[in-house]
Structure 1
Amino acid sequence: MTDLVKLSGPMLTPTSGPEKSLVVLLHGYGSDGRDLIALGQFWRDSFPDTMFVAPNAPHVCGGNPFGYEWFPLDLERDRTLSRLTGAETAHPIIDGFLADLWAQTGLGPADTILVGFSQGAMMALYTGLRLAEPLKGIVAFSGLIVAPEKLGAEIASKPPVLLIHGDMDDVVPVMGSEAALPKLIDLGVDAGLHISQGSGHTIAQDGLDAATAFLRKAI
């Protein structure tokens, strides 16, 4: 078996003592863990028993050598097929990272929320819905379901999911989350959608507030 890439990135330990829950933050294409760990800094005081971890994706970004990518944007190939190939490749790497994190902390899927933005949101959904044991929850900012036609046969657990998207997103259009919602509900997932009006490919304040409420309910 080929050794998997080991992920690393910034981490915030709980302010109250030993961690009782985990929030794993998956950044977008061309970014890095330092970007999304800002969410952990925002949430840290509200969730003092939670550890926040924001790993860098496994590959230097082809479009930005100062950032990372979960998978390349292959503009020469069909975008849907390219995303599926990329997600299938990145999935076991994230699986391995989570397994190591759980072994180190003594926690597990039921103590963990996956949060992703853009390409990271795609990977949060792809990975989190295929884990044998359900996560505490998944928050997907500006994402979509990769290969939704395959999900019915491959879904292994059904954690609650919150989709958050800006209606003016011109990078990953809002239809990605709008299409994901009924698919998840049809599969029996407790899923919700928050649309930030007038917002582009970013995390708007009302979207952040919706995610905070989701975490508060889950944690």
Structure 2
Amino acid sequence: MPKQLVVLLHGYGADGNDLIGLGSYWQQALPEALFVSPDAPAPCAENPFGFQWFAIDLDRTISRVTGTPPAREVIVNFLIDLWAKTGLSARDTFLVGFSQGAMMALHVGLSLDQGLLGIVSFSGAFIPPDGFESGLSAKPPVCLVHGDLDQVVDPKLSQEASVMLQTHGYDVSYHVSPGVAHGIAPDGLDFATSFILAQLAAAND
């Protein structure tokens, strides 16, 4: 039986297969973990072979604000079902995402009553869920990784997320990958791996 869950949320226009390779990379560090990478709920408007957590219109900021809440419900229900099937809980779960999936990982993970083991956001942005300002939700540790040459999702969005989350009392690990565009570079992956191992060590203390 697995002792941890790692749920991987892909980016816009991709599918679950896009990130499942991280499971192979992290298997040695997490030998008792179950890696799950679901497809987003809707076909991608710009890629008939891929999926989207929410649609992207001309104004990307508005698209994120309006698109994340409905997609949140899909992911929360998926997590609840997964926890019921495995006997695990939020405390055993890492929520990891890339790009649009990273936005969902942060939006969902920071809206739950029970804290996750950790959240990893690669090339993402933070769209605060309803009630975030109240400070009543759990405060799981957060890892933010972004390439400084990203032209798809502005690197400043991760920097802003880091400041906002720390201001609200979150433990944030923030890393900028120099010379990296919209993707996950080896240094960013190593940083995220160290973050994951640190959370496991803290949980086992």
Deviations 1:56-95, CA, capped at 9 Å, x for gaps: 00001001011000000012xx432221111011001000
1:148 deviates by 7.9
Structure 2 gaps of 5+ residues are 201-205
Cα RMSD (Å): 1.4
Q: TM-score, normalised by structure 1?
A: 0.88
Matches within 5 A, 1:121-132: 121-132=102-113
Pick from 21, 26, 40 the counterpart of residue 57 of structure 1.
40
Contact 2:17–2:37 (CA under 8 A) maintained in structure 1: yes
Pick from 130, 139, 142 the counterpart of residue 120 of structure 2.
139
Deviations 1:157-196, CA, capped at 9 Å, x for gaps: 1100010000000000110101001100011100121000
1:37 aligns to what?
A: 20
Distance 1:85 1:61 in 2: 17
Matched, 1:204 2:194: no
Shift of the 96–174 alpha-carbon distance from structure 1 to 2, 3 Å rule, reads same
Matched, 1:81 2:62: yes
Shift of the 86–206 alpha-carbon distance from structure 1 to 2, 3 Å rule, reads same
Distance 1:63 1:182 in 2: 33
2:5 aligns to what?
A: 22
Structure 1 gaps of 5+ residues are 1-17
Distance 1:202 1:107 in 2: 30
1:212 deviates by 0.7
Matched, 1:156 2:137: yes
2:93 aligns to what?
A: 112
2:30 aligns to what?
A: 47
2:164 aligns to what?
A: 183
Distance 2:128 2:90 in 1: 23
Q: TM-score, normalised by structure 2?
A: 0.94
Distance 2:170 2:93 in 1: 17
1:217 aligns to what?
A: 198
